[in-house]
Amino acid sequence: AQKITQTQPGMFVQEKEAVTLDCTYDTSDPSYGLFWYKQPSSGEMIFLIYQGSYDQQNATEGRYSLNFQKARKSANLVISASQLGDSAMYFCAMREVSLSGGGADGLTFGKGTHLIIQP
């Protein structure tokens, strides 16, 4: 079963509008982290925002915020006031933290959402 599901393969949004990118996850571990990365056409993965499973408040980083609904296992990314430079692939990812002391597992990524901002 998929651990990270991104249901929007592509999205077109007008410049200056707010954007919500959907992400649902599946885990039975109580300790995990949720991430959003941006990947422009150059290929580099750019870290945007992080939410820990025990964090009480939703994470925010500038124009990015993460709408964390733990009971629904949802971690949607919200981009306010979109810009042309926001056009890219966006990936939601999760890392389950091993309690055996072996460090955190690798990131599990969703399939991504291709966001295109139109002028």
For residue 85, what is the DSSP state? G
Tell me: does residue 40 bind another protein (CB under 8 A): no
Which of 9, 62, 85, 103 is the binder for another protein (CB under 8 A)?
103
Site string for another protein, 63-102 (x = CB under 8 A): ----------------------------x-x-x-xx---x
Tell me: does residue 41 bind another protein (CB under 8 A): no
The H-or-E segment that residue 60 falls in is strand 60-61
Q: Tokens at residue 79, please? A: 């981009």
Q: Tell me which residues touch another protein (CB under 8 A).
A: 33, 35, 37, 42-47, 50, 52, 91, 93, 95, 97-98, 102-112
